[in-house]
Structure 1
Amino acid sequence: MKILAIAGSLSEPSTTSMALNIVVQRARKVGADVEVYDLRHAPLPLYDGRITESKLPSEVHLFKKKMLEADGYILASPEYHGSVSGVLKNALDFIGARELSGKYVALLGTSGGAMGATNTLNTLNIICRTLHAWPLPSMPSVPQAYQAFYENGSLKDKNLQKRLEVLGEELVANLRLRGSRKRFDS
């Protein structure tokens, strides 16, 4: 099973990438092949709906190919002004239901504020459902992310650390279940 993980942050260092890494490591530990697509090192141009598929740059074709080949996804975003980051929204604008339809998606968010990334997660949930994906019901959020991590990348809040780890496990479990259903239906 192949999972593509994307952090919607261009910051260096990035608390969103740190949170994503916790989920990625757990998914790998329970048997998934996880690739992290780093928008900092593989930037996409600004989406322009007027561009025809054949005229898209090679970076976009590669991104769409990776999205299409993945069995599931982990999408993480910081909350910017009450919504998903521009860089993640831009990347998602290049794909459609063809890439996401029927696939499971683990969502997580980070926020500088004490309320967490609730609006961001709700927005990502809507985007995924609109593209016919299956967002997992658990959508953890790291509030006050700027002070939430130890230097080793783990969360100071052990309960939140566990929620992110469980998110990785749940994604893998759902992908395994989906795979067994496909074999049963054949």
Structure 2
Amino acid sequence: MPPARSNAFEVLFQHPWRTIMVADTRQTLEKLLHSFSTAMLVTRSVDGTLRSRPMAIARVDQTDDVWFVTDIESGKVDEIDSDPVVNVALQNGSQYVSLSGTAAIIQDRMLLEEMWQEAWRVWFPKGKDDPNISLLRVRTIEGEYWDNSGQQGLKYLFEAGKAYLTGTRPAIDEDVHQKVDLR
């Protein structure tokens, strides 16, 4: 009987430099994620259509969950109750992040007190004591980023120009685009 073959992907994945690359990829996503102050929250309405709305980010916690505040009476609360699977899309210049996850409405006054920002009084005139204010947590499952800023942007412009002149597609560097499992 021939010896069992090793799975080359497993060996590669277990290699120390590969582990570091995966960690660096997550760190890159986290760094980008912490640089945003607003996001588009995408939910599915009861009739199945997708709905997006801009939301101020209240917090990104150590597990990469994203927190917002919302009015408990808003339509997005019904949409989340009906289908908690959401997307959070973020963009700033030439940096983009897309997060997939599940949303939940959290009624926790102590946590709200801890997160409270006076700027939210615009939407909640009664402040943190407003009975309709609630936290909305998106537990992230997967993230994807595109970062064409700085040197990556220059590399991309070079690759795009070369692709245009040669009639090919640009080579995208791993530093520019990655998917990250956040479970």
**TM-score band w.r.t. shorter chain:** under 0.3
Give the TM-score of the pair, scaled to structure 2.
Answer: 0.22
Which of the two has greater helix per residue? 1
- Identify the structure with bigger relative contact order (alpha carbons < 8 Å, sequence gap 6+): 1
